[in-house]
Amino acid sequence: MAPPDNPICVALDTTDPETAAGLARALAGTVGYVKIGLEFFYAHGRAGYERVAEAGVPIFLDLKLHDIPNTVAGGLRALMSLDPLPAIVNVHASGGPAMLRAARETVAEIDEARRPKLIAVTVLTSLDVVDLTTLGYNLGGEDTPTGHVLTLARLAHDCGLDGVVCSANDLRALRRRVPGPFLTVVPGIRPENAAHGDQKRVATPASALADGADILVIGRPITRADDPAEAARAILDEIGSARSAARE
Ligand SMILES: O=c1ccn([C@@H]2O[C@H](COP(=O)(O)O)[C@@H](O)[C@H]2O)c(=O)[nH]1
């Protein structure tokens, strides 16, 4: 799977349709994707989605489905009638193999050239090793969640999914241990000196790409900037400079 030309995906986390559609228009041509998540979709559903889609930017519909196989398949099938189709949809890998296969079979009902990429969330970037231990995961004494991310990523791969959502901290191990092509979509991206907020496993845009990210999900550092398009351009410049320096 070829990496996208423009790896920036901006999270439109708002309940205001004017703001979401306005951001999508302002960012068209500067970013590769916009992301619609729970906040916007629960508030405005299909009509809100279609309004954002008018800007013509490919959409990652980040609804992170997590339920029994039949329910996830039904939910995804309902989403497959969106017009235009999203470029990417997702489920939680921890829904298990039967659910992942049901999801894969459902998106496969759309012809291959048009179907959305189906990816699985591994471990949320807002969780660190302390959180996972609190949740009862046995990390075998490791001090990062990467081992668990790899388990879920391999499962997603074996169930035929196109890729995963993971943190930048997991990428090197994942690129070594999960066969490609396999899309890596990476939130928790923070330019130097940007506030981390609720994100615990973070990286800069340039370092995430250097470690193997295909798509960088960036929300507040762009959407809360005085000029979001300018903030996105600054990140693209930073990425370009880091790539040129790496080639020298
Ligand atoms: O593990 C995950 C999965 C999804 N997200 C989503 O990405 C954006 C990040 O927004 P920021 O404002 O840049 O923190 C947000 O929509 C999350 O729902 C994630 O952060 N981590």
Q: Give the residue-averaged pLDDT of 116-130.
A: 98
CATH number at residue 151: 3.20.20.70
Nearest CA to ligand 1 atom 7: 187
How far is 232 from 223, CA to CA, in rounded Å?
9
Does the pLDDT of residue 1 top 70, yes or no?
A: no
219 assigned binding-site residue: yes
SS3 127: coil
Preceding omega of 181 cis (within 30 degrees of 0): yes
Is the residue at 3 inside a domain? no
Amino acid (1-letter code) at residue 175: R
Is the residue at 224 inside a domain? yes
Question: What would the two tokens of residue 102 be?
Answer: 């049901």
Does the pLDDT of residue 139 top 70, yes or no?
A: yes
DSSP conformational letter for 219? -
Query: pTM to 2 decimals?
Result: 0.97
Is the residue at 143 inside a domain? yes
Is the residue at 2 inside a domain? no
Does the pLDDT of residue 74 top 60, yes or no?
A: yes
Question: What would the two tokens of residue 159 be?
Answer: 């169930």
Of 3-7, 13-17, 60-64, the one with minimum mean pLDDT is 3-7
Q: How many domains does the chain have?
A: 1
Does the pLDDT of residue 211 top 60, yes or no?
A: yes
Query: Domain limits at 161?
Result: 8-247
What would the 3-class secondary structure string for 136-161 be? Answer: CCCCCCCCCCHHHHHHHHHHHHHCCC
Classify burial at 44, counting beta carbons within 10 Å of its beta carbon; exposed 0-12, middle 13-18, buried 19 or more. buried
Tell me how far the alpha carbon of residue 225 lies from the centroid of ligand 1, in angstroms: 17
Dihedral angle over CA of 57, 63, 104, 88, nearest 10:
10
Does the pLDDT of residue 114 top 80, yes or no?
A: yes
Atom of ligand 1 nearest to the CA of 122: 1
193 assigned binding-site residue: no
Is the residue at 182 inside a domain? yes
Check residue 246 and give its pLDDT.
Answer: 74
Check residue 80 and give its pLDDT.
Answer: 98
User: Under a CB-based contact definition with an 8 Å cutoff, are residues 211 and 172 in contact?
Assistant: yes
SS3 190: coil
Top mutation candidate among 10, 169, 217, 235 for ligand 1, by most atoms within 8 Å of CB: 217
Tell me how far the alpha carbon of residue 124 lies from the centroid of ligand 1, in angstroms: 8
How far is 152 from 165, CA to CA, in rounded Å?
10
Catalytic residues: 62, 64, 67
Check residue 159 and give its pLDDT.
Answer: 98
Closest C-alpha among 105, 107, 113 to residue 82: 107
How far is 214 from 247, CA to CA, in rounded Å?
18
Check residue 153 and give its pLDDT.
Answer: 98
DSSP conformational letter for 28? B
- Percent over 90 (pLDDT), the chain: 92
Nearest CA to ligand 1 atom 16: 11
Q: Give the residue-averaged pLDDT of 215-238.
A: 97
140 falls in which pLDDT band (50, 70, 90)?
confident
Does the pLDDT of residue 2 top 70, yes or no?
A: no
190 assigned binding-site residue: yes
Kindly report, residue by residue over 9-56, the tens digit of the pLDDT: 999 999 999 999 999 999 999 999 999 999 999 999 999 999 999 999
User: Under a CB-based contact definition with an 8 Å cutoff, are residues 104 and 111 in contact?
Assistant: no
Tell me how far the alpha carbon of residue 247 lies from the centroid of ligand 1, in angstroms: 30
Does the pLDDT of residue 3 top 70, yes or no?
A: no
